[in-house]
Structure 1
Amino acid sequence: MSPAPDERDRIRAAMDRILQETAQHSNGALTIVALAQEAGVPRNALTQRHPDLKNDFYTQVRARGQTPDSEIRLRRQIVKLMELRAKDAIELAQLRTDVEQLVRVVNQLTMHNHQLLHALSQPDSPVRALPTHPHPGRSD
């Protein structure tokens, strides 16, 4: 489908309305979605057919000292992700500490078990194995 002959003019007029905060056909957000809606064109008209107008829109937004809404959302998301990453780093450090402690405990128990098995294997050992009783419903 080819673009309407006045598509660029409609986009420019929509840019003016949004930047002057007089949007008529959109919510007036500083986004490409709102610009496309305001101009009555599909979003891909700005991203594929007229990327120069899209870039010009964002340039004008920044020149007025404003930040595009999409950038504001992305910055908020970055902050949230950085907070999550910091929390994950704390949790990871704790898990590493826990693993080190568990490895030490396993090594101590293994050494103790070897000592007990060795003592049990001696004929004059005071260590005695206790008889085991099967658990109900369990086959060993």
Structure 2
Amino acid sequence: MTAAADSTRDAIRAAADRLLEGTPLRSTGELTVVQLAAEADVKRWLLTHKHRDLAEQFQARARALAGDSPPVAELKKRISELEDANARLKAADAERQELTDFYTQVINELSTALDRATAERDDLLGNVRSISQAPSRRPAH
């Protein structure tokens, strides 16, 4: 092999290591041959035709990681945790909303009952006259 080919192979190996470690410099960090080419700063056809062995080694190592680099796996785990927390918050919010609706209904009913009782009291008190003095002590007109 020529020095240029060795240099290209070294760049591909280094790029593969960076991708698998989750420290990409030039790519999105996805564990694909396309991103490996971008990370190594080489044309994709070099990986698929000229250095196929390196592409296959990379794919095998990526499969061993279940397809995700460590940072991507960590982010997926964090996303899952956040989705679970969000679901719990939504459930708690729905429960609070149900309680709020229930309390609103109870307050409404109590308010209506109070208005009725107040009106009845006012009607009953409307027939009552104030007595300023007892009958035996009233001055004669």
TM-score (norm 2): 0.51
Distance 1:77 1:62 in 2: 21
Give the structure with the higher percent helix. Answer: 2
Per-residue displacement from partner, 1:19-72 (whole Å, max 9, x unpaired)? xxxxxxx8x8622xx243xxxxxxxx335xx84624879845423x11311321
Q: Is the 8 A contact 1:15 1:35 kept in 2?
A: yes
Q: Is the 8 A contact 1:62 1:68 kept in 2?
A: yes
The aligned counterpart of 1:138 is none
The alignment covers a number of residue pairs equal to 98
* Relative contact order higher in (CA < 8 Å, ≥ 6 apart): 2
User: Where does the alignment leave 5 or more consecutive residues of structure 2 unmatched?
Assistant: 1-6, 29-33, 40-54, 129-141
Deviation at 1:81, TM superposition (A): 1.4
Per-residue displacement from partner, 1:86-111 (whole Å, max 9, x unpaired)? 21132122212211221122112211
The aligned counterpart of 1:117 is 118
Distance 1:35 1:104 in 2: 58
Per-residue displacement from partner, 1:89-136 (whole Å, max 9, x unpaired)? 3212221221122112211221122112312331137xxxxxxxxxxx
Cα gap change, 1:111/1:51 in structure 2, threshold over 3 Å: closer, same or farther?
same
Cα gap change, 1:58/1:113 in structure 2, threshold over 3 Å: closer, same or farther?
farther
| Equivalent AA in structure 1 for residue 120 of structure 2 | A
| Equivalent AA in structure 1 for residue 105 of structure 2 | R
Divergent runs of 4+, >4 A: 54-61
TM-score (norm 1): 0.51
1:53 aligns with 2:56: no
Distance 2:82 2:58 in 1: 25
Give me the CA root mean square deviation. Answer: 3.6
Larger Rg: 2
Cα gap change, 1:112/1:95 in structure 2, threshold over 3 Å: closer, same or farther?
same
Cα gap change, 1:81/1:87 in structure 2, threshold over 3 Å: closer, same or farther?
same
Percent identity, aligned pairs only, is 10
Deviation at 1:76, TM superposition (A): 0.9
The aligned counterpart of 1:69 is 70
Q: Is the 8 A contact 1:29 1:69 kept in 2?
A: yes
